[in-house]
Chain A
Amino acid sequence: MLTGFARLFVILVVLFLYLPVFVTVIFSFSTSPRLSLPIEGLTLDWYSAALDNPQMAAALRNSLILAVGTALISGVIGCACSFGILARKSVRLRQGLLAFSLLPAVVPLLVTGIALAVMFHAIGLQQGLRNAMLGHVLVCLPFVILTMNARLQNFDFSVLEAARDLGASRLRAFTDITLPLIRPSLIGACLLAAALSLDEFVVTWFNIGNQQTVPVLVWGLMRRGVDPAINALATALFALLVTLVVASNLVGKRGPR
């Protein structure tokens, strides 16, 4: 009974989350150029329109590079940082460090974007994908650090001691015990970073120079209206990323346990 109720709840929440996704996907195949009802027929025209557009193709590529790069870099740096914070003995220091690590999430994005652009200019780094990537890492770090912190506080480190009592090196203890245990959270945090990177367009706009990402392009195209080619672009990106995540899950499953 309770289980049935719980399942229903999960289904409803997932439906709520995916409702806009369904709408986006459906209208990317709809013959009607309006993003509203009714749907008269199905077509792949919006996909060919999106992929024929060299800017959309470039934007898609840049978005993928930024999402994957940001996920990896902020995943590693952020995870390391949360271990480092956790190891501080003083509770006050830990809480202070955590609050400080939130800072990039508190600063208005536009301010971050401009401040970064001015900073990069001052140290002579040309605008481009690299600068945008650094910006994304900065913006995503708080989310990785705090997510990992939520996982690691109250973490039962006695299993590590047990492993080391059995003669495992620190490295072995980390890769064989800690890592598998924190993996769902770490992968989740990386996915989060990828998603935030994918949606970011304010910091990106100021730092990417003459390049485009999907949201930067979509925001610019909006002056001339929103057409289903944008839905096709979003759906293509969604499909690519889901494939990437599912594939990496499979690779992970086949790996050594």
Chain B
Amino acid sequence: MDPRLKCVLDNKLHSRLDRRRFLQGAAGLATMGTFASGQAGFAQATLGGDLNFLGWDGEHGGNVAKDFLAQNNIVMQASFQSAADEALTRFNTGGRGAMDLLTPNKDFQKAILEGGVELFQPLDLSRIPTAAGLFPAFKDAPWLVRDGATYGIPIIWGDEPCVFNPEKWEAMPAKYTDFADAKFKGELVLLDDPFGNIWLWAVSLGMPEPHRLTQAQLDEVLAAMLAVKPNVVAVGASHGDMADVLIRGDASIGVGGWAYQTLIARDKGVKLVVGSPEVDGTFYWSDAYAIAVDAPNLDNAYAFIDFMTSAETNAALAVELGSACTVEAAFDLMDPTVRDLYPFDNVRQPGGGILGTQVVVPSQNGEGDIVGAGAWVETWQTFKAS
């Protein structure tokens, strides 16, 4: 290589490396005073520095929390996951001590807490006064509590309906197993999610406890899913990828979708609607804010969660993500076109409502004849590979 070229490149490299941002910052480490009730968060003096986020895109509040972060000199270091359970892998491979805020979904958090796995730390609810405004179902919800301590503050919730092109279909069939009909050939796109798909087909086959299956039941589910496979065009890598397939017109029905996909499509001039098979229905999910064990920026994390759980912010985030809000007072602030997509009756009762009783993800360990999550994953792999 020419020496001058090398020199130029070297200089470029080193100047960039020197400027590398390792914003240690003057992180406020003093203990925070208690928040005043209501709109807290803005007035506190001890915030600032980094806030490390590993979770879903959007839930880092890139838009809704922009001013809050700026006013408190908090630098949001957001990195996004592409699968719900990636946080655990990152945590166990050197991320511990450098992760603050996580956004586990309901069943993932339940599995981690039940499994006694170290990942989330118990929350000091006195530092999140706005959490008092959550819908009854989300206070001390069963999937967030272990040994009396709370490990997560729900931020949005929703269901996984079918998302389809209304020009092609008036309604979805009554059952997921009906998708095996040849008229759906070349029309379906699924989500790459072993648990959601198997659960839906287990429900469709009338299995009483769809999250607790024996190997024989799993095989039955596999056979039913394989009957549908000839009609499936693709398995979307994520909800956004699935939306892309639908928007391009490469498929017309997304199974295990997200109402947000209709908003993505609307922005691109394509009309998609939601609607689940009438008999089988679908399942519900909820994402929560949680703080990782050994989080280095605890104050920032608490202040951020408290801000995000205020009614205005919660409503804004729910609308941005086309999902349902978790704060009771946010309900009235939401755009009805988004709000009406979700059955809020389910969250007005304590105990988690349907979100509390419905379990989608199997436990990690088997139990007697009941197989563990590994067998589900293998079944899904077999479905995709055969």
| Residue positions of A touching B, CB distance < 8 A | 32-36, 53, 55, 58, 61, 64-65, 68-69, 71-72, 75, 114, 117-118, 120-121, 126-129, 179, 183, 186-187, 190, 205-206, 208-212, 216-217, 219-226, 248, 251-252, 254-255
Contact = CB atoms under 8 A, between A and B. Distances in A.
A20 to B, nearest CB: 15
A127 to B, nearest CB: 6
Interface in B291-342: 321
A224 B90 contact: no
Contacts of B89: 114, 206
B8 A251 contact: yes
Given A121-B93, A209-B95, A210-B52, A224 B268 contact: no
Given A33-B268, A179-B1, A225 B57 contact: no
A6 B17 CA distance: 45
A184 to B, nearest CB: 11
B69 to A, nearest CB: 11
Nearest to B52: A210
A133 to B, nearest CB: 9
Contacts of A179: 1
The 6 closest A-B pairs by CB, nearest first: A220-B80, A121-B94, A117-B93, A210-B77, A225-B240, A225-B264
B62 interface: yes
B270 interface: yes
B244 interface: yes
B267 A33 contact: yes
Nearest to B86: A205
B81 A220 contact: yes
23 contacts: A36-B247, A65-B20, A68-B12, A69-B17, A72-B6, A114-B89, A128-B22, A129-B20, A179-B1, A210-B52, A210-B77, A210-B98, A211-B77, A212-B78, A216-B79, A219-B80, A219-B82, A221-B240, A222-B240, A223-B58, A223-B80, A225-B264, A254-B4
A206 B8 CA distance: 31
Interface in B8-39: 8-10, 12-13, 16-17, 20-22
A248 to B, nearest CB: 5
A219 B83 CA distance: 11
Contacts of B3: 255
A224 B93 contact: no
Contact of B98 (A64, A65, A209, A224): A209
Contacts of A128: 22
Interface string B90-102: 1001110011000
B364 interface: no
A220 B79 contact: yes
Given A206-B90, A210-B50, A210-B79, 16 more contacts: A33-B268, A34-B247, A34-B270, A35-B244, A35-B248, A72-B9, A127-B98, A209-B79, A219-B80, A221-B240, A223-B57, A225-B261, A226-B241, A251-B2, A251-B8, A252-B4
Contacts of A69: 13, 17
A237 to B, nearest CB: 15
Interface in B244-287: 244, 247-249, 260-261, 264, 267-270
B82 A222 contact: yes
Q: Max chain A CB contacts within 10 Å: which of B80, B81, B90?
A: B80
Contacts of B268: 32-34
Contacts of B17: 65, 69
B243 to A, nearest CB: 5
Secondary structure at the A interface, as helix, strand, loop or mixed, is helix
B79 A224 contact: no
B113 to A, nearest CB: 24
B5 interface: yes
B94 A120 contact: yes
B195 interface: no
A248 B1 CA distance: 10
Contact of A223 (B94, B99, B239): B239
Given A114-B89, A219-B82, A225-B264, A190 B1 contact: yes
A255 B3 CA distance: 8
Contacts of B270: 34
B180 to A, nearest CB: 29
A114 B93 contact: yes
B237 interface: yes
A67 B239 CA distance: 30
Interface in B52-72: 52-54, 56-58, 62
Given A72-B9, A252-B2, A118 B80 contact: no
B237 A222 contact: yes
B121 interface: no
Nearest to B241: A222
A183 B1 contact: yes
A223 B79 contact: no
Contacts of B10: 72
Nearest to A228: B268
B238 interface: yes
Contacts of B62: 53, 55
Contact of B80 (A33, A120, A217): A217
Contacts of A58: 21
A21 to B, nearest CB: 19
Contacts of B16: 61, 64-65, 68
Nearest to A254: B4
Nearest to B239: A223
Contact of B260 (A114, A127, A224): A224
Contacts of B78: 55, 210, 212
Contacts of B248: 34-36
A255 B90 CA distance: 47
A181 B6 CA distance: 17
Given A65-B17, A226-B244, A255-B5, A221 B80 contact: yes
